[in-house]
Amino acid sequence: MADFSNAIKIPQDSKEKCRSIFLGQENSAEFSLVSAPSRALFGSGIRQDFPILKQKINGKRLVYLDSAATSQKPKVMIDALKSYYEKYNSNIHRAIHTLGEQATEEYESTRKKVAKFINAKSEKEIIFVRNTTEAINLVAYSWARNNLKAGDEIILTIIEHHSNIVPWQQLQENGIKLKFVDVNKNYELDLKQLENSVTKSTKLVSLTHVSNVLGTINPISEIVKIIKEKNPDAKILIDGAQAVPHLKVNVLELDCDFYAFSSHKMLGPTGVGVLYAKEELLKEMKPFLFGGDMIKKVGKFETEFNDLPWKFEAGTPNIADVIAFGAAIDYLENIGMENVHTHEIELTKYALEKLSEIKDIEIYGSKDAKQRGGVIAFNIKGAHPHDVAQILDGEGIAIRSGHACAMPLMKRLGVESVCRASFYIYNYKKDVNAMIKGLKKVKKVLKL
């Protein structure tokens, strides 16, 4: 078994306490009341579980505000990875030996955890891939290329990440048309335009759950209803890369057909992504890649493919990282996704307030923290995002700068690039304060 002895265990009553203790209130009375589970407290408490946060960058405390790119990793996840390699490393599914059985059990147990985490009907609906991008490509290759014909339409939105645009652009060579839904002045999706875009020819609507630039949380349930009412046959794919790490996602309730996300943005290792799809769709779909684990029986000229979900997992999978991903899910489950979301709303609200006080700053996205994830994109007049990021780095602060893999959205916003700060469970007010101080330094250095 993976060694989870370091995993945080939070009794039910202290989970309740967690809800009311946010943002690094180290000295609050409540903090001292909660002794053992105090490590589970957001910000200051939780930071102790993340070894990387203990180091100094350029002589300064590391202030990591780039979790939308990839999250940092808790020790329990790193330990699970190490434990697999040190104690039961072996290939899975066909090994008749102790190590192989243990590895298979752990690998498949992560699948069950993922299914439960996003409330899928069955673990057969959970396909492990490398990342969100590959999950979307799987749908583009296995489903879209076999089911769409010239004249069919795919609807996307202007706020999509490149990974949810480029795979669909490739289908244009087969005569498939792309349509884009715009945002309104509050940076929310124009639902009226979306409704009007859906026609009998619409075969797929593929959109993000949470924007990786604007932070906007799209009302997916409502959107699914709008689409299905106009065209019940249209399929819906949700890019959940920025949602699953931060919100409680319930795919059954959302009623989408496909849902894609990545482990590395939710405390897990790189190299693991998930495609959820309704079982009846997966049954009909042809495999994406061929060979290895996706096979049941092979003759010289023909092959019988494996059952779901393995039909879509060719070759030896990323065993170690999938197992460690399970430890990351356990960690998040212990904290509770509602608590994660509440913490991020609080922090985003605080950051929006503080950032707004800076002169000549433009913040993109809704000003209402409740309408958005913990992602804030901004620009300071006269300061190029690369210069901002570089000067902040000198202060130990990591933010993202550039087009954030959303060039069509940049064009829509009328900018070349943005600065982006993003938060997660280990961030606290102190990090926001450091960034604000850093931004003042940016202005000083650039003589703005």
Partner 1 sequence: MTLDIYAEEIIDRFRNPHNFGAIESADFEAEEYNPLCGDRIKLQIKTHDGRLTAKFSGHGCAISQASADILCGEIKNKQISEIENLKDDDVTKLLNIPITGTRLKCALLGLWALRSALKNGS
Interaction of residue 58 with partner 1, rule CB under 8 A: yes
Which C-beta is closer to partner 1: that of 99 or that of 415?
A: 415
Phi and psi based region of residue 416 (left: phi greater than 0; alpha: psi -120 to 50; beta: remaining)? alpha
At residue 184, φ and ψ (nearest 5 deg) are -85, -175
- From the list 255, 206, 191, the residue with the least C-alpha distance to 228 is 255
Interaction of residue 386 with partner 1, rule CB under 8 A: yes
Which 427-446 positions form the footprint of partner 1 (CB under 8 A)? 445-446
Distance, in Å, from the CA atom of 284 to the CA atom of 92, rounded to the nearest integer, reads 26
Interaction of residue 196 with partner 1, rule CB under 8 A: no
Which burial class, exposed, middle or buried, applies to 439 when counting CB atoms under 10 A from its CB (0-12, 13-18, 19+)? buried
- 405 tagged catalytic: yes
- From the list 55, 74, 41, 64, the residue with the least C-alpha distance to 336 is 41
Rounded to a whole number of angstroms, the minimum distance from the CB of residue 60 to partner 1 is 10
Interaction of residue 287 with partner 1, rule CB under 8 A: no
Kindly name the residue from 18, 256, 405, 419 that is annotated as catalytic. 405
Rounded to a whole number of angstroms, the minimum distance from the CB of residue 378 to partner 1 is 16
Rounded to a whole number of angstroms, the minimum distance from the CB of residue 392 to partner 1 is 10
Which C-beta is closer to partner 1: that of 57 or that of 337?
A: 57
Pattern 390-429, partner 1, x by CB under 8 A: xx-xx------xxx---x--x----xxx------------
Interaction of residue 56 with partner 1, rule CB under 8 A: no
Q: How would DSSP label each residue in 153-181?
A: EEEEETT--GGGTHHHHGGGGGT-EEEEE
Distance, in Å, from the CA atom of 328 to the CA atom of 269, rounded to the nearest integer, reads 9
Which C-beta is closer to partner 1: that of 284 or that of 416?
A: 416
Which C-beta is closer to partner 1: that of 60 or that of 145?
A: 60
Distance, in Å, from the CA atom of 419 to the CA atom of 415, rounded to the nearest integer, reads 11
Preceding omega of 309 cis (within 30 degrees of 0):
yes
Distance, in Å, from the CA atom of 362 to the CA atom of 360, rounded to the nearest integer, reads 7
Rounded to a whole number of angstroms, the minimum distance from the CB of residue 21 to partner 1 is 35
Stretch that binds partner 1, among 12-20, 124-132, 154-162, 385-393 (CB under 8 A): 385-393
Task: Please state whether beta strands 153-157 and 177-181 pair in parallel, antiparallel, or not at all (unpaired).
Answer: parallel
Distance, in Å, from the CA atom of 148 to the CA atom of 176, rounded to the nearest integer, reads 7
Which 139-168 positions form the footprint of partner 1 (CB under 8 A)? none
Which C-beta is closer to partner 1: that of 377 or that of 410?
A: 410
Among 15, 384, 412, 430, binds partner 1 (CB under 8 A): 384
Whether the Cβ atoms of residue 355 and residue 376 lie closer than 8 Å to each other: yes
What's the number of CA atoms in the CB half-sphere (13 Å) around residue 375?
30
Which C-beta is closer to partner 1: that of 101 or that of 387?
A: 387
Interaction of residue 360 with partner 1, rule CB under 8 A: no
Distance, in Å, from the CA atom of 401 to the CA atom of 397, rounded to the nearest integer, reads 12
Rounded to a whole number of angstroms, the minimum distance from the CB of residue 442 to partner 1 is 10
Interaction of residue 65 with partner 1, rule CB under 8 A: no
Rounded to a whole number of angstroms, the minimum distance from the CB of residue 409 to partner 1 is 13
Which C-beta is closer to partner 1: that of 436 or that of 445?
A: 445
What distance, in Å, lies between the first and last C-alpha atoms of the chain? 57
Rounded to a whole number of angstroms, the minimum distance from the CB of residue 347 to partner 1 is 26
Among 387, 398, 433, 436, binds partner 1 (CB under 8 A): 387
Instruction: With CB under 8 A as the rule, give the number of residues binding partner 1.
Output: 20
Whether the Cβ atoms of residue 310 and residue 111 lie closer than 8 Å to each other: no
Rounded to a whole number of angstroms, the minimum distance from the CB of residue 431 to partner 1 is 19
Other C-beta atoms closer than 10 Å to the C-beta of 55 total 9
What's the number of CA atoms in the CB half-sphere (13 Å) around residue 204?
29
Binding site for partner 1 (CB under 8 A): 58, 384-387, 390-391, 393-394, 401-403, 407, 410, 415-417, 445-447
Residues known to be catalytic: 405
